[in-house]
Amino acid sequence: MSKHTDELNDLGRFSEPALLIMISLADGPKHGYAMTEDIEQISGQRLGPGTLYGGITRLEARGWIEPLPSEDRRRPYKLTTSGHKVLKHRLAAMKTMAKIATTRLADA
């Protein structure tokens, strides 16, 4: 497993919400409400505000997302360059696992 996917696992119970947040930001900056709606649409999961901001806090602390200036209270975030790399590696690992699982199911 690459160093980047190890780092994502270090987020413990927030690793899945963090991944969802990063996927949501992959197509452009969003604020909290937009992330919540987008994540619910793509995954069927609705992140509570505590879980969402727990993930945002940890991702920002690691430098994988960063806030953008905003004129109102809603602050948008975007993926950083290192965040892009972490997300890319994690998705590549998941793609490999999905391929192996699919092959095994087909052979079973």
Partner 1 sequence: MKPESLLRLYPRDWRERYGEEFLALVEITGLQPADVADVTLAAAREWLKVLMPAGLKFGALYLGCWAWLSFFGYLFPHRAEMPYFLAMLDHVRAASLFLMAALVSRLCDRAFERVGRGAGTAMFRVAGAVSALLMNAAAYLIYLRMPHAILPQPDVVLVIMLGTLAGRTAAAMHALSGPLWTPRPPSIRGLGLSA
Contacts with partner 1 by CB under 8 A lie at: 31-33, 36, 48-54, 56-57, 72-75
Q: Which tokens hold the place of 74? A: 């809603």
Identity of the residue, 38 or 85, whose beta carbon is nearer to partner 1 in the bound complex: 38
Least separation, in Å, of the C-beta of 57 and partner 1?
Answer: 7
- DSSP letters of 27-95? TS-B-HHHHHHHHHHHHS----HHHHHHHHHHHHHTTSEEE---SSS---EEE-HHHHHHHHHHHHHHH
Identity of the residue, 56 or 86, whose beta carbon is nearer to partner 1 in the bound complex: 56
Least separation, in Å, of the C-beta of 56 and partner 1?
Answer: 7
Identity of the residue, 44 or 50, whose beta carbon is nearer to partner 1 in the bound complex: 50
